[in-house]
Amino acid sequence: MNKPISPAAGSGLRQRFVEDMTVRGFSEKTRRYYIRIVAGFAAFLGRSPDTATAEDIRRFQVHQSELGMHAPAMNSTVAALRFFFTHTLDRPDLSRKLIRLRYPRKLPSVLSVEEVARLLAAAKYLKHRAALAVAYGAGLRVAEVASLKVGDIDSARMLIRVERGKGGRYRHAMLSPDLLTLLRAWWRDGRRQGVMLPGGWLFPGQDPSKPITTRQLGRVVEEAAQTAGLTKHVSPHTLRHSFATHLLEDGVDIRVIQVLLGHAKLDNTALYTRVAARTVRTVTSPFDKIVALIGKRASAGD
């Protein structure tokens, strides 16, 4: 029986793979995930992945399908292997053999403005209310909220500096006057508690030298939603979805929203056009114009 071989395989292959990902700014979480994917592919082959053939790739994807793996998970595997084959092995010919699956994207859960207000009001502590307010008021991902430092709040330019965005991308998020007021209130309270360290995390965890975890922020949202009596499924990302949808409904250009969200592709932002109910309601149906025209003709005939 062949012994599964990791991407390292004694040839420095794993190290090259890690270096290629590091150079391109992949997060530690992504690097670990990609290594696990390639190691799983190697285990399936029973030999080093740099010996893979097009037929091996076909058999692997058939194997995944037979195991009942869902399309999003299979596509994540494709992303990891494509990177490995293209950048680490310089085998784009193998990369092209990997098949991405199309699947319908679920519409994101979105809260109304009133529901967001109830959720924030239900947060038990000022730190938690401020963190959720940043997720909604600036449209940040939960990991971006957790990674903020005090120095990332630029009150002079009314911007939030996001240095740990998805894919390691740097961007600026909006900082409204009311959000700044809330953050200053939390900063004063945190200083009084002795948890707001100089140059430290904006939302420290139980150990002030470490940031609040994304898991803890998830629990905060769940507890606040329950207290507020919200029946919808709510997560920290729901606040980001709601931010984008409410901006779109208020007439903000979709490309501006794309920049604020840090989306690399406009297609990802365009998803919110499918849930922006107020935008849909403000559009005049061509049928109404036809009815009006028929009415005018009928009046003229009288």
Task: Name the strand (E) or helix (H) holding 153.
Answer: strand 153-154
Chain-centre distance of CA 139, in angstroms? 10
DSSP state of 204: B
Task: Respond yes or no: is residue 272 known to be catalytic.
Answer: yes
Determine the 3-state secondary structure of 269 from DSSP: helix
Catalytic residue among 47, 118, 166, 172: 166
User: Are the CB atoms for 121 and 113 separated by under 8 Å?
Assistant: no
Task: Respond yes or no: is residue 172 known to be catalytic.
Answer: no
DSSP state of 70: -
Distance CA 204, CA 209 (A): 7
User: Are the CB atoms for 7 and 39 separated by under 8 Å?
Assistant: yes
Catalytic residue among 97, 127, 129, 263: 263
Catalytic residue among 87, 128, 141, 241: 141
124, HSE (Cβ side, Cα atoms, 13 Å): 10
- Ramachandran area for residue 113 (φ above 0: left; ψ -120 to 50: alpha; else beta): alpha
Task: Respond yes or no: is residue 240 known to be catalytic.
Answer: yes
Catalytic residue among 129, 136, 246, 272: 272
Catalytic residue among 127, 129, 164, 240: 240
Q: Which residues pair with 171 in a beta bridge?
A: 162
Task: Respond yes or no: is residue 246 known to be catalytic.
Answer: no
User: Are the CB atoms for 6 and 42 separated by under 8 Å?
Assistant: yes
Task: Respond yes or no: is residue 34 known to be catalytic.
Answer: no
Task: Respond yes or no: is residue 166 known to be catalytic.
Answer: yes
* Residues designated catalytic: 141, 166, 237, 240, 263, 272
